[in-house]
């Protein structure tokens, strides 16, 4: 079932530009120069029920703009968008009750009040019945194990604890579509892992659809079934994560351990990542692995261990994004 359908959507901003100084400010009162920026360019996209899609790209690639278009916070310059059969920019109550958006750098909770007060307010905003609210709150609180934090002022919570409460507040109405913009921003490794586990479990148990943006590559590799990569507002890649790995995992990492290690001739030098007296690590193209192993064994008769590893997907994505950005 298609939940999100985007057809040839673009979004342009017109920014007023003024010259510096008093003269420039006065001139700007009568004459204005505007610059048009295309934040999103001719993007088409479909997302199915229960899919977790990772949205990747450098700063300014158009990720957050696209999320705002999908939630109806922005109106597209051209193109059509359908989410759950609704046009997001119409902001119908029936539509808003079925979606949520969590931004890692934005607060929804009241700073001076305990989380339970914000949860009670959200209940009224979304018109959640008492029975449903009690069930949903109990389910989410147990899932995140924050029962002892419900009556603590938000200002006294750690960043990780606050992010858990932010997520609970955003999911109290059990939305069908979840938009996550940097949900693990600033969190420690343990908290990041916990947030990922929570999102995965919520999707599995509630058939939710998720689009997530993150600069933490592990958020994407641990959660996403599929990745969409944006560059300067354009979609440059859209496929499953497994297909991306097949297409771009072109190297293997080979580490050689030996007594009095001898480094291979100049031919392999550009593939050498690091070396010392007892160990050398190479990045070898898949098609040259057999030849490399033969040659390294020929010059080192006392090899103690030889480890061949796939290059981590995190590194592959980082390299791809770096090439796209440059």
Any idea what the CATH number is for the domain that residue 142 is in? 3.40.50.300
And the tokens for 268?
């392999």
CATH (domain of 303): 3.30.70
Indicate the angle between helix axes 189-206 and 159-171, nearest 10 degrees.
10
Domain total for the chain? 2
Tell me: do 261 and 199 sit in the same domain. Answer: no
Would residue 25 count as lying in a domain? no
Q: What is the pLDDT of residue 1?
A: 87
Tell me: do 53 and 72 sit in the same domain. Answer: yes
- 17 contacts 188 by C-beta, under 8 angstroms: no
The DSSP letter of residue 312 is P
Would residue 108 count as lying in a domain? yes
Tell me: do 236 and 261 sit in the same domain. Answer: no
Within 10 A of 175 (CB to CB), how many other CB atoms are there? 21
Strand partners, 52: 210
- 78 contacts 41 by C-beta, under 8 angstroms: no
Taking the C-alpha atoms of residue 276 and residue 250, their distance in angstroms, rounded to an integer, is 26
Tell me: do 236 and 254 sit in the same domain. Answer: no
Within 10 A of 150 (CB to CB), how many other CB atoms are there? 15
Q: What is the pLDDT of residue 326?
A: 66
Q: Which domain holds residue 112?
A: 2-7+48-246
Tell me: do 119 and 168 sit in the same domain. Answer: yes
Taking the C-alpha atoms of residue 263 and residue 277, their distance in angstroms, rounded to an integer, is 9
The DSSP letter of residue 50 is T
And the tokens for 42?
């001719």
- Using DSSP, how many helices (H) and how many strands (E) does the chain show? 11, 13
Q: Answer with the one of 228, 246, 264 that is the final residue of a domain.
A: 246
Element (H, E) at 12: strand 2-17
Query: How far are the Cα atoms of 157, 160, 179, 185 from residue 189, in angstroms, in the given order?
Result: 17, 10, 22, 11
Would residue 36 count as lying in a domain? no
Tell me: do 91 and 135 sit in the same domain. Answer: yes
Query: How far are the Cα atoms of 25, 41, 138 from residue 235, in angstroms, in the given order?
Result: 38, 8, 40
Strand order in the sheet with 303-310: 272-275, 279-285, 251-258, 303-310
Over the Cα atoms of the chain, what is R_g?
Answer: 25
Tell me: do 218 and 276 sit in the same domain. Answer: no
Q: Is the dihedral of CA 130, 136, 139, 143 positive or negative?
A: negative
Tell me: do 272 and 160 sit in the same domain. Answer: no
**Cα 102 to chain center, whole Å?**
12
And the tokens for 258?
């030996």
Tell me: do 144 and 227 sit in the same domain. Answer: yes
Nearest residue to 9 via CA among 99, 95, 60, 78: 78
Calculated CA dihedral for residues 308, 314, 319, 321, nearest 10 degrees = 160
Tens of pLDDT, residue by residue, the chain (326 residues): 899 999 999 999 888 777 777 777 777 677 777 788 899 999 999 999 999 999 998 888 899 999 999 999 999 999 999 999 999 999 999 999 999 998 877 788 898 999 999 999 999 999 999 999 999 999 999 888 888 999 999 999 888 888 889 989 999 999 999 999 988 887 788 888 888 888 888 888 889 999 999 888 888 989 998 999 998 899 999 999 889 888 888 888 888 888 777 776 677 778 888 888 788 888 888 898 898 888 888 877 678 888 888 888 878 888 887 777 66
| Residues 6 or more apart in contact with residue 77 via CB below 8 angstroms | 10, 11, 12
Would residue 17 count as lying in a domain? no
pTM for the full predicted model: 0.82
């Amino acid at each position: 079932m298609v939940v999100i359908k985007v057809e040839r959507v673009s979004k342009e901003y017109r920014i007023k530009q003024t010259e510096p100084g008093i003269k420039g400010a006065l001139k700007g009162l009568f004459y204005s120069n505007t610059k048009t920026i295309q934040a999103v360019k001719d993007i088409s996209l479909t997302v199915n029920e229960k899919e977790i899609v990772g949205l990747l790209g450098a700063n300014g690639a158009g990720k957050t703009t696209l999320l705002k278009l999908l939630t109806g916070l922005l109106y597209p310059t051209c193109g059509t968008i359908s989410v759950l059969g609704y046009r997001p920019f119409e902001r119908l109550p029936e539509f808003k009750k079925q979606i949520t958006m969590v931004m890692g750098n934005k607060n929804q909770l009241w700073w001076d009040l305990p989380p339970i007060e914000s949860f009670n307010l959200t209940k009224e905003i979304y018109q959640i019945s008492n029975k449903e609210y009690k069930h949903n709150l109990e389910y989410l609180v147990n899932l995140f194990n924050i029962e002892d934090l419900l009556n603590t002022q938000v200002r006294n919570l750690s960043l990780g604890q606050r992010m858990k409460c932010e997520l609970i507040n955003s999911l109290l109405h059990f939305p069908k579509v979840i938009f996550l913009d940097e949900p693990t921003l600033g969190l420690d490794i343990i908290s990041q892992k916990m947030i990922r586990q929570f999102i995965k479990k919520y999707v599995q148990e509630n058939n939710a659809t998720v689009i997530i943006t993150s600069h933490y590559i592990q958020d994407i590799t641990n959660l996403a079934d599929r990745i969409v990569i944006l560059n300067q507002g354009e979609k440059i890649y859209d496929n499953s994560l497994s297909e991306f790995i097949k297409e771009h995992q072109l190297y293997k990492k080979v580490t050689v351990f030996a007594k009095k290690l001898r480094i291979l001739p100049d031919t392999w030098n550009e593939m050498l990542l690091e070396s010392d007296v007892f160990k050398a690590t190479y990045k070898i193209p898949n098609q040259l692995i057999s030849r490399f192993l033969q040659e390294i064994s020929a010059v080192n008769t006392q090899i103690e261990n030889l480890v061949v590893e796939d290059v981590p997907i995190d590194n592959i994505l980082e390299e791809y994004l770096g090439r796209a950005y440059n």
